[in-house]
Amino acid sequence: MRSGQENESPEDEAFALLDFEALVGRQSRFVFQVAYAMLRNSHDAEDVVQETFLSLYRSGAWRKINDERAFLARATWRQSVDRLRANPRRAGLHNTEDNATLLLELPSRESDPEQTLLEADQRAAVHRLIDALPEELRQPLALSTVQELNSREIAAILDIPEGTVRTRLMRARQMLKQKLSAQVEVRHAN
Amino acid sequence: MPTDRELDELIDAALSSYSATEARPGLEQRILTNALAEHPRRRRFAWAWAFAVPAAACLLLFLFFAERHNSSPSTLEATVITAPASAAASPRETPKANSLPPPLNRSIPHNAPTKPPTTPETLPKQDVFPSPSPLTAEEQTLFAYNRSQLRATIARRGTQLEINPLTISELQIEPLDIPALDQPALSPSESGRNEQQP
């Protein structure tokens, strides 16, 4: 990796751009998944991916990265949290156009249209329940869905102990199960 | 009533959709395009800074000196010689009229408008000079020293003087030419004419 972005020759700049291009090619999908897990909106997630890479390019910090995945995941998480704080209404699948798209794309084992709609309705209910979780429980659960992110990496991103991540994941799942079972009981009663 | 396993399956199915979502194609290209667009902008801003910083410095200097020149003129501190503190504690009391004017402890503007020359203030005259008050011990010592030095100087000069003996030339009195008394006496008018003739 080269350093000294201000006083570098055109040849160095070209090499740096190639390095940056390789970094984007390697990690853009991962960065998008982290952003999408946090924001649940593909357009917002793409914006966050671009902001993350551009801020890295501006600062030149990408030249000194040791662990690319951890660094990028942390940077993306911060950008996502800033976006959520700036506009909390945009967060959440049930408020966006992704809701319908996701429900239609989900695979269905049943060929019965009524059953398909029922499953889609159940998944939408699960998504709503996930979105309604407290942020301290929702964020570890959402990040756990990103490929190859284990508890240690999630702990590094959120800057909390690894044990806390596991505890929060367990609590989130228990809370979801309780609410889901309550909803199913209500439906069966109706 | 769904079992715990069924609930887990429902949750996992919902969460799997998180990682199944992909970005629109061309995201990497858009990122690189934006980065490339950012690059010359950075250069342009660097040039702008290179011009803006010296210009701002010059402007600040100009404003500073202009402000200083107009509203707050530079001042010259007048050198003030104040009377020593021991003078005030001296036992010799001088009359109030003899005291010096208070020290000028004010600043004189450098570019103050020129005033017409004024006559300097005359110092008050003493009625009796020197002061009628008795001399202090120091003054008396100085006076005695001066007197002794004067005497010594006079004595030294006296020894150096050589008095030459006076030489008095003898008197030489020429004999008077007295006319004889037997010649006839002239009338007053004739005698006057004779006197007027050379």
* Domain range enclosing A12: 8-91
Is pLDDT of B170 > 80?
A: yes
Tell me if A68 is assigned to some domain. yes
Instruction: Enumerate the β-bridge partners of residue B108.
Output: B76
Is pLDDT of B120 > 80?
A: no
Tell me if B14 is assigned to some domain. no
Nearest CB to B31; choose among A28, A33, A181: A28
Residue B198 binned pLDDT confidence (cut-offs 50, 70, 90): very low
Instruction: Note whether A46 contacts B27, CB cutoff 8 Å.
Output: yes
Three-state DSSP class for residue B92: coil
Tell me if B48 is assigned to some domain. yes
What is the rounded average pLDDT of the residues B46-71? Answer: 82
Instruction: Note whether B17 contacts A184, CB cutoff 8 Å.
Output: no
Tell me if A35 is assigned to some domain. yes
What does the pLDDT look like over A67-92, one tens digit per residue?
888 899 999 999 999 988 887 665 55
Residue of chain A nearest B42, judged by CA positions: A58
Tell me if B55 is assigned to some domain. yes
Tell me if A44 is assigned to some domain. yes
Q: Which of A153-167, B64-78, B167-181 has the lowest mean pLDDT?
A: B64-78
Residue of chain B nearest A178, judged by CA positions: B7
Q: Which of the pair, B26 or B112, is modelled with greater confidence?
A: B26
| Confidence at residue A93, expressed as pLDDT on a 0 to 100 scale | 45
Three-state DSSP class for residue B107: strand
Tell me if B54 is assigned to some domain. yes
What is the rounded average pLDDT of the residues B98-123? Answer: 58
| Confidence at residue B185, expressed as pLDDT on a 0 to 100 scale | 54
Q: Which of A29-38, A150-159, B40-49 has the lowest mean pLDDT?
A: B40-49
Tell me the chain A residues in contact with residue B39 when contact means C-beta distances shorter than 8 Å: 13, 17
**CA–centroid distance for B113 within its chain:** 18
**CA–centroid distance for B37 within its chain:** 64
Tell me if A42 is assigned to some domain. yes
Number of domain units in chain A: 1
Tell me if A102 is assigned to some domain. no
- Give the CATH number for residue A82: 1.10.1740
Tell me if A151 is assigned to some domain. no
Q: What's the pTM value of the predicted model, to 2 decimals?
A: 0.53
pLDDT, averaged across chain A: 81
Q: Which of A149, A177, A175, A151 is nearest to A162 (CA)?
A: A151
Q: Token pair of A23, please?
A: 């970094």
Residue A175 binned pLDDT confidence (cut-offs 50, 70, 90): very high
Dihedral-angle region of residue B26 (phi above 0 means left; psi in -120 to 50 means alpha; beta otherwise)? left
Q: Which of A150-164, A172-186, B9-23, B100-114 has the lowest mean pLDDT?
A: B100-114
What does the pLDDT look like over A79-135, one tens digit per residue?
999 988 887 665 554 444 444 444 444 444 546 787 788 778 878 888 889 988 998
What is the rounded average pLDDT of the residues A11-19? Answer: 78
Tell me if A46 is assigned to some domain. yes
| Confidence at residue A169, expressed as pLDDT on a 0 to 100 scale | 94
Q: Which of B13, B21, B12 is nearest to A36 (CA)?
A: B21
* Domain range enclosing B64: 30-71
Tell me if B5 is assigned to some domain. no
Tell me if A71 is assigned to some domain. yes
What is the rounded average pLDDT of the residues B175-189? Answer: 69
Tell me if B177 is assigned to some domain. no
Instruction: Note whether A123 contacts B46, CB cutoff 8 Å.
Output: no
Tell me if B85 is assigned to some domain. no
Instruction: Note whether A36 contacts B7, CB cutoff 8 Å.
Output: no
Tell me if B37 is assigned to some domain. yes
Q: Which of A21, A165, A139, A29 is nearest to A80 (CA)?
A: A139
Number of domain units in chain B: 1
